[in-house]
Every structure is written in structure tokens, then in C-alpha cells.
Chains A and B, each alone.
Chain A
Amino acid sequence: MSNNFAIKTIDLTKKFGNFTACDNLTFEVHKGEIFGFLGANGAGKTTAMKMLSGLLSPTSGTAKIADYDIYKESEKIKKNIGYMSQKFSLYDDLTIQENINFFAGIYGLSNKLIKEKSEVVINELDLKKQQNKLVGSLPLGWKQKLAFSIAIFHNPAIVFLDEPTGGVDPVTRRQFWDLIYQSAERGLTVFLTTHYMDESEYCNRIAIMANGKLAAIGTPKELKESNSSSSMNDVFIQIARGKNYV
């Protein structure tokens, strides 16, 4: 029934005491889609992502990730998703190869598979020469690409990227998006949070969060048209302002 959806949530809510971080979120993400989650700091996008990736348990509501129930089948979900945190979260004191071995290892991949696949990945990223260098010595852009490759190393159905392009220059960001497109073409669903408005235009569809609620959802084109704006920046300001001041 929900076979076309990578993520489907109904009234997903998270409360911290009296504060409602996510208020009745209902939305779907299609398989193979690049789905952007936008919002100001504190709008609840990170909380939403944490619930979807299993880091936080929801207060109420339901969600299905890769057709698995978020409450009952969390173990299966874990095997089928990848996650890349804001800080890229590689071990600086391990080499590139050691990082790959470690993260692939905790997903239960066999040594043989890790060896074969890491060769492909390292060649794709053009990191052959740096293979045995410490990750700490790599420029941020390389770390970012490596972190992404490691997040999808175990072939997840969905990858969650938490503000993946923070702190890197526009050229590197563009390169990173190429990498995301390549993976999406292979059928990977990409779910990312960002507050770079120009970047949101690269997404197939986006959702904008304001004050814990889902304020708008649609393709960038749809959102621009319905708000009669020329850029996502204007759309975002209108929606965020509207919620705050009206």
C-alpha cells in the first residue's frame, strides 16, 4: 500500500515537558526522492530527523521508515538507514581506511565485502593516495564526501543528512550535491535538513517547518508559485514571518 513511500508519518509529535518541538507532523517522502527539511534554528527539524532516524522516540503519532514501523521494527529500520551528522563524525585519529572498516563493521558487513567496496569508494572519491592518511589531516570538503560515502556504505534505503553542508565553500557544496544526485539516481532516498535556502532548490521536494509545525510542503517551484516569490529565500521569510507575526 505504502510501497511508494520511503517515509510516511502521521501526526508525529515530540514534546519535551511543556514544549512541543514537533507538532503533529504528517508527510510522505517518496522512494528515490531528495527531500529537504527547512526551518530556522529551533524550528524542530533536527528533532524530527532524530525521531525518524531512531535517536528519539516520539511522544505520539506513527511513522513508517522503509516500510518498517518506527516502534515495532526499529532494529530493521536501523539496518536500512544511514545517518550523517552535522559534524561529519568521522574519527580524526583514524585513517580513511580504518574509518571505513570501522563503520562498515558495525553494520555487520563482512571483511571481504568491506575490502572490495572500499576500493571502489576510495577510487570514486579519488582518495587513493590519502587512503592511509589520518582523516584529521583532510580538508573539510573531503571529510564531508567521505562521511557521506561511509553513511551509505552499507546500502541503506534512506540516508539522513543533518545539515550536511555546514561550513564548506560553495564549490565543495556543489560537488557534494553531485554526489547526492548520483546516489539518488541509484534509488537512494535522501532526507536532509538545511538552512541554506539556495540549496533547497536542489531538492526534489521540500518541507518548511516553523515553530514545530509543518508550514508548507511541495516542490520548490510549487512553493515559489503559491507564495508568488522568485526565490526560496523569500518563500522562507514569508512563511516563517507569517507564522510568527500574524
Chain B
Amino acid sequence: MFNGFLGFFKKEFIQIFRDKKSLLILLGIPTIQILLFGFAITNEIRDVRIAILDYSKDNTTKEIISKIVSTNYFKLYKMLRNEKDIERAFQTGEIKEAIVFSQNFGQNLEKFGKANVQFINDGTDPNTATTIIGYTNSIIGQYQNEITRTRQIPLIITPEVKMRYNPELKGVFLSVPGLISIILMLISAMMTSISITKEKESGSMEVLLVSPIKPAVVIIAKVIPYAIISVTIATIVLTLGRFVFEVPIKGNLILLFAEITVYVIMSLSLGILISTVAKTQQVALFISLIGLMMPTVLLSGFIFPIENMPIWLQPFTYLIPARWFIVIIKNIMLKGSDFSTILNETLVLFLMILVTISISIKKYKIRL
């Protein structure tokens, strides 16, 4: 039986490598995607025009303003005099953000340890707006830390600084984990479901089922080559991210690849599940793209933050494996977390594998 398995394994690899075009696409797409996401589709901001309305005009606000303006991110368009100016500045389309310091900003901060600042953003481009807010927040947060250091009672300006693990909010930092999740899902699930349905379509699956080789062996032998390719692609994306875009890998490499393997197995079992439903390669492709890729891209939190989704939609994101995997991989890569912090997410993935495989086996038995 082991011989049969090996022969099968060999056959799969011959088939994959003989189809040079597909292989090129398989390896090329991730490379192009990571370069595109890294270079072109960047969330980074530079020289964003802002206006400032300072009702307080004290030393504290002056210091904050000079900090904001001295970065490369922002360019001061105008110091505004009153509320009406804000609207005008937006209407002419020249600014992306207005920062309003409340009256007695510095005094309030001294006396009560609390002061308010308002960011007004151009919501027509929510992604950019969110990013700009993040930048402004982090600059103010930095200032707050500086002045707090010299005091006993902490001074609070903004409630919270978001995305502190990507202080410059480099888009590519988030792209690498997100891309790996999506590409692995695509390749593992789509390629396996297509390659299994291909056997069904050509009739060779019947021949295999008549033979003494066990169906489970058939499926495992078909799936392992794609697992190897998927891990290779993950390595390519990680390497490109590390050396071209300087995305750090702070955590343990072995842990990272172990988690990647778990996620690949998850995706492969989804591919197997699809192949129990799909009769033709086209159907398998269709289900993979519409039923798997779309939700993964939309609901994993890679492009659209889950916190910003309507409450009723948020529970659906729990069903998306990539949602959990992105948390895992971000934690390991960017925060250098150890296994204990990502235990829950890992368990969720394992549970998903178990459920998917059980359904596949059941479906498979019904079919026979």
C-alpha cells in the first residue's frame, strides 16, 4: 500500500511540474501580488494637507502642532480661525484632515490631566481617513508619552493609540500576513479541489476507486504535493516581504511555519470538501472563487477592519479561517508572540479542520 502511495505521490508531482504554465502562474501570482501590494497599493501617506483650528493657542498645542507639521506625513495648509473655515477648507478639496484643539487645552491637561482634541476627516475615502487618523493619533500619543514621563500623574490627550505595532502604518506590514492567508487559501483549496475533480471528470477516479488503493490514500497523496507547494509559496512571500519591504519576522520561525502548516491543512480540507460537491473542474473553480475567496478577502479583516463591520455581520467573520490565521501570523511576525498568546486561534483552526474533514467523509460516503 505504501508503494501505491509513493507512486501516486510521484505521479502528482510529475503532473504538476509537467504543466509548466500552471506552475508558473502558481508561483508567479503570489510574487506579483506581494510586489503590487508592497509598492503600488500602499496605505502609506505622505504630505497630506491638513488644517488646524487652535482655540487654545498655548504652549502645549504649539508643541503638538510643530510635531505634526515637522513629519513628512503632514503639510500644514492653513491655520484656521473659526469653525466655518473648516467647511470651506474641505469644500475646496484641499485638505484631508482638520485638527481642532479645544479651548484651554494646555490648562485642562495641567489641571485635570485630560484634554480634548478633535480630528475631522474626509470620509469619502474611508481607508485613507482611517490611516490619517492613525498617524495623527500616534504623533499625539508620542507627545503624550514624552510629557507624561516627567510627571507622576499620567496626562491623557487621546483615549488610545491604535495600531501601535506598525507605528508608521506601513501598508506592506499588513499586506504580507493578509496576502499569505489569501494566497494559501487560494492555492490549497482551489488547486486541490480542481485536481480531485479533474480525476472525477476524466473518469480516472472510478478506476482508482475500483482498485485496492484506499480512497483516503488517494486523497492524501493528491493533497500533499499541494501542501508542499503552498508552504513553498508562503516562504517566497515571507522572503520577499522580509528582504524587499523589510517586514520583520520577530517571532519563532518554527512556530510560524507550524502555524502555516495548520492553516494549509485547513485550506486543503476545504478543497477536499469542495471536491465532494463539485462534479466538474469549472464548478470547483467557481465554488473556490466565489464561495471561498470572496468571503476570505472581504471578511478576514485583511482589507476591511472587522471592528468597522456592522454588528450583525461580525459573527460571520468567525467562520472564515483566514480571520484567525491573520491574527496568528500578525502576532508571530510583527509582535513576536509565543504560542500561548495564539493558542485560541490555533484551536479554532484545528476545530475547523475536524469539522470540514468530518463533513467531507460523510458526503463522500453518501455519494458511494
Binding site for B on A (CB under 8 A): 53-57, 75, 78-79, 81-94, 98, 101-103, 105-108, 110, 151, 160
Contacts and interface: CB of A to CB of B under 8 A. Distances in A.
B210 A94 contact: no
Given A81-B210, A93-B15, A106 B8 contact: yes
A105 B1 CA distance: 9
B8 A102 contact: yes
B11 A89 contact: no
Interface stretch (B77-85, B117-125, B201-209, B247-255): B201-209
A105 B4 contact: yes
A57 B210 contact: no
B9 to A, nearest CB: 10
A87 B203 CA distance: 6
Nearest to A85: B203
A75 B7 CA distance: 20
B91 interface: no
A102 B203 contact: no
A107 B6 CA distance: 12
Contact of A102 (B11, B206, B209): B11
B212 A107 contact: yes
Interface string B13-25: 0110011000000
Given A55-B368, A78-B211, A88-B203, A94 B14 contact: yes
Contact of A85 (B6, B10, B206): B206
Contacts of A105: 3-4, 6-8
Contacts of B19: 93
A170 to B, nearest CB: 23
A83 B15 CA distance: 23
Sorted nearest first, the 8 A-B pairs with minimum C-beta distance are A105-B7, A87-B203, A85-B203, A83-B210, A89-B203, A78-B212, A89-B204, A106-B4
A53 B11 CA distance: 24
A94 B11 contact: yes
A93 B213 CA distance: 21
A87 to B, nearest CB: 4
Contacts, number: 79
Contacts of A107: 4, 211-212
Interface in B202-247: 202-204, 206-213
A109 to B, nearest CB: 8
A160 B19 CA distance: 32
A207 to B, nearest CB: 21
B210 A53 contact: yes
A89 B4 CA distance: 18
B7 A94 contact: no
A106 B4 CA distance: 4
19 contacts: A53-B210, A56-B368, A57-B368, A85-B207, A89-B204, A89-B207, A91-B11, A91-B202, A93-B15, A94-B14, A94-B18, A103-B207, A105-B4, A105-B7, A107-B4, A107-B211, A108-B3, A110-B3, A160-B210
Nearest to A151: B207
Given A83-B206, A107-B212, A94 B15 contact: yes
Contacts of A93: 14-15, 18-19
A57 B368 CA distance: 7
Contacts of A79: 212
Given A105-B4, A106-B4, 19 more contacts: A55-B210, A78-B211, A83-B206, A83-B210, A85-B204, A85-B206, A85-B207, A91-B15, A93-B14, A93-B18, A94-B14, A98-B11, A103-B207, A103-B211, A105-B8, A106-B208, A106-B211, A108-B1, A160-B210
A71 to B, nearest CB: 14
Contacts of A55: 206, 209-210, 368
Contacts of A92: 202
Contacts of B4: 105-108
A103 B212 CA distance: 11
Contact of A89 (B1, B18, B202): B202
A98 B14 contact: yes
A160 B206 CA distance: 12
A111 to B, nearest CB: 8
Contacts of A98: 11, 14
Contacts of A53: 210
A94 to B, nearest CB: 6
A87 B18 contact: no
A75 B210 contact: no
A82 B212 CA distance: 10
B190 to A, nearest CB: 19
Contacts of B210: 53-55, 78, 81-83, 160
Contacts of B11: 91, 94, 98, 102
Contacts of A160: 210
